């Protein structure tokens, strides 16, 4: 399923596929952010999502 979403995100520029991928990692991100001081969490969350979007678009599907 994740491979299908990556294909849609990369080949078809499907923004909904990107959102689905990010949503699937949200519970892990939230759990990890609990280890960060509260006043830094939102900034770190945004940085993580930006990095993930970059990786989604660069990921080698071959």
Whole-number pLDDT of residue 60 = 86
Whole-number pLDDT of residue 49 = 97
Model confidence over 2-61: pLDDT tens digits? 999 999 999 999 999 999 999 999 999 999 999 999 999 999 999 999 999 999 999 888
Whole-number pLDDT of residue 62 = 78
Q: Give Dmax over CA atoms of the chain in angstroms.
A: 40
Residue ranges of domains in the chain: 2-58
Tokens read off for 32 = 């990890």
Predicted TM-score (pTM) of the model is 0.86
Give the Å distances, CA to CA, from 38 to 33, 35, 41, 61.
8, 9, 5, 36
Q: Which residue has the higher pLDDT, 62 or 21?
A: 21
Helix then strand then coil, in percent of the chain rounded to 5, is 80, 0, 20
């Amino acid at each position: 399923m994740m491979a299908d979403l990556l294909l849609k995100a990369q080949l078809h520029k499907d923004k909904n596929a990107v959102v689905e991928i990010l949503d699937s990692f949200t519970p892990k991100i939230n759990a990890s952010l609990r280890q960060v001081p509260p006043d830094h969490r939102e900034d770190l969350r945004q940085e993580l999502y930006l990095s993930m979007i970059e990786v989604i678009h660069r990921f080698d599907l071959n």
